Structure 1
């Protein structure tokens, strides 16, 4: 009987996209199982690669627009527009990602998400009804106020002077004026694609957890957390704690919480990025009569347990009783939790000690070789 193999890999960041790594694994599988039905899905969790996943799996087009990087340079950023212009997908990492920052020294209090607002404005002009916003991979920590400034929000100090909405000026803001917000923003249904559930403020909040990863100094982190707590009172005076504690509100430096403050609750939601993308890509349907699922990511460790691509793939595969294996660049030394979750196996593409540079340079042939090896083993044990 012809085996059916589904491949749904996350990107190996800095080395290969989800689609590239999936195709390499497929090539390896077909060397051992030339008669197999092998299907590759490009997937992501809301961070880098989200636009590519939609582009590979669904009818529509990538649209490129000029935008402003977090550190103020003009760059190009893509978003995905469905074939019927019913919905668009914006990836924060495209215009406001950490990889878009060219500064040699981090200036977290200067960085703005304005560019992502420019991309959203262009998408809204296409007459869309739904907007998906992938919140992973951001390089900013500005509560989404830069993004909202690009859409018409204004901020003022206690002397009624307009304040530029970058973090270093947040302490001067005493009032927001939302009357100029692009009206189309309130007319669409927005789903934030997230892979974390961190709130806006506090020990688990945007600033304290993710700020250091973006180069924030201790005093900057403390300042940002204080200001986020205070600004929540201005953004949501009737229920500031709801905004401060909103699950996922701390993703992308608080972008989700910032936009949430200006929209009706029935128009916006936080959803697991990988679940949404797998659903739109038809992953569950592809599992019908499948014999094996292959997933993976560049590094598999504790973070995998919190909404990353391999976990989402595994959970759906388990519901259909299809075994799932993970192909990874590297993994933690203790795999017990991953096996407890249900992975049939976790396999590194590295055949022996390799420098990171060598492994990244050769990721596709190494992935192909691993796919070939696993498929050969599958063939032997299934006969």
Structure 2
């Protein structure tokens, strides 16, 4: 039997290690099966590492800055692209991730996305003609203003001081966007985001995500107003394009993914970027459809499978694609709070969870995952070759 293993992060384990752990345990339990591993990510932490484990590219070490302006190491995966030029895969979380901040530092009113702008500049310096930016798990809520400042829009003194500072901006302080756009005129800029939220409104980044980053309800309302003020200034200084069919303005703050990463998605749209669901970008990059079509079973995995997972996640995207290929999918999860009916509706033929909570050291989680993978292998694999 041909088994394709396509995993996301699992608690504190990065996806390549998860895939290798599942594959090793599966092989010991069902040695006659032929295995292939495709670690992936939804665009958040681990995006570059997952793709680097599969794609024939090279990792370029660069220096970025974290949400408080401190220098941090980062990496860009540069993949050759023939005559079209190389593709650079970036992970915004390496520069603006929540994990870079201690608990007391998680204040989205003052954290900045400027480090993501430095990653973009590094990708251009490497000669990338296509830039795919994984966006998810960030600790910023500044509408990507810091990112734009790093590219020469306004100045860091005004745009890289966090979301709250945007409330006092003046029109002349958003100058330079046209110059920044010119940098990407011949570059295919892709926003690979873990959410499709707009920038503003009840489903926008401040309303939905600011609280998770430490904002109080009052601060979240203040951030909503500040980001709205910033978007309004940008729209007046740089009027949006008009849709030729409807005659309506194409508002980047309303575009899919504009609210991703506290509004980093909005900044990427301003630069001419286009939205793709992060997991779909990863599955396309690693050639999932080709591997899936040659498989008898797909095994996917994630740390927690819950209601949000049913709206968009690695397991959901994998099961949907597998369904189209006519291949069954089973899920290994640290925890699942989804009913059997809901998981079947999501296209999963089985959901298997750890017998113990996923909390604990990575080694403990890995050991539990080994036992779980072996049990599932014995359940699904034929007893003979």
Unaligned runs of 5+ in 2: 241-248
Alpha-carbon distance, 1:71 to partner: 1.5
Who is 2:243 aligned against? none
What is the alpha-carbon distance in structure 1 between the residues aligned to residue 324 and residue 340 of structure 2?
Answer: 22
Q: 2:44 aligns with which of 47, 55, 80?
A: 47
C-alpha spacing 1:243/1:181, structure 2 compared with 1 (3 Å): closer
Alpha-carbon distance, 1:155 to partner: 5.4
Who is 2:335 aligned against? 330
What is the alpha-carbon distance in structure 2 between the residues aligned to residue 300 and residue 136 of structure 1?
Answer: 17
Q: CA RMSD in A?
A: 2.1
Contact 2:40 2:50 in 1 (8 A): yes
User: In terms of mean alpha carbon deviation, does 73-82 or 132-141 score higher?
Assistant: 73-82
Q: 1:347 aligns with which of 332, 341, 352?
A: 352
Contact 1:152 1:182 in 2 (8 A): no
What is the alpha-carbon distance in structure 2 between the residues aligned to residue 51 and residue 309 of structure 1?
Answer: 15
Contact 1:131 1:190 in 2 (8 A): yes
Who is 1:163 aligned against? 158
Contact 1:22 1:42 in 2 (8 A): yes
What is the alpha-carbon distance in structure 1 between the residues aligned to residue 321 and residue 229 of structure 2?
Answer: 41
Q: 1:31 aligns with which of 28, 31, 36?
A: 28
Q: 2:251 aligns with which of 224, 239, 242?
A: 242
Who is 1:259 aligned against? 268
Contact 1:235 1:261 in 2 (8 A): no
C-alpha spacing 1:185/1:372, structure 2 compared with 1 (3 Å): same
What is the alpha-carbon distance in structure 1 between the residues aligned to residue 279 and residue 314 of structure 2?
Answer: 6
What is the alpha-carbon distance in structure 1 between the residues aligned to residue 75 and residue 30 of structure 2?
Answer: 37
1:1-383 to structure 2, matched below 5 A, reads 3-14=1-12, 16-83=13-80, 86-102=86-102, 104-154=104-154, 163-166=158-161, 167-175=163-171, 176-178=174-176, 180-181=179-180, 183-237=182-236, 238-239=239-240, 242-263=251-272, 268-332=273-337, 334-350=339-355, 353-354=356-357, 356-357=359-360, 360-379=362-381
C-alpha spacing 1:32/1:203, structure 2 compared with 1 (3 Å): same
What is the alpha-carbon distance in structure 2 between the residues aligned to residue 275 and residue 67 of structure 1?
Answer: 26
What is the SS of the residue equivalent to 2:280?
Answer: helix
Over residues 25-74 of structure 1, what are the superposed CA-to-partner deviations in whole Å (9 max), with x where a residue is unaligned? 11121122111110111111111111012211111111121111102221
User: In terms of mean alpha carbon deviation, does 132-141 or 328-337 score higher?
Assistant: 328-337
Alpha-carbon distance, 1:380 to partner: 5.1
C-alpha spacing 1:188/1:300, structure 2 compared with 1 (3 Å): same
C-alpha spacing 1:328/1:306, structure 2 compared with 1 (3 Å): same
What is the SS of the residue equivalent to 1:48?
Answer: coil
Who is 2:244 aligned against? none
Alpha-carbon distance, 1:309 to partner: 0.5
Alpha-carbon distance, 1:106 to partner: 2.7
Over residues 108-129 of structure 1, what are the superposed CA-to-partner deviations in whole Å (9 max), with x where a residue is unaligned? 2110011111111111111211
The number of residues matched between the two structures is: 368
C-alpha spacing 1:260/1:286, structure 2 compared with 1 (3 Å): same
What is the alpha-carbon distance in structure 2 between the residues aligned to residue 335 and residue 228 of structure 1?
Answer: 41
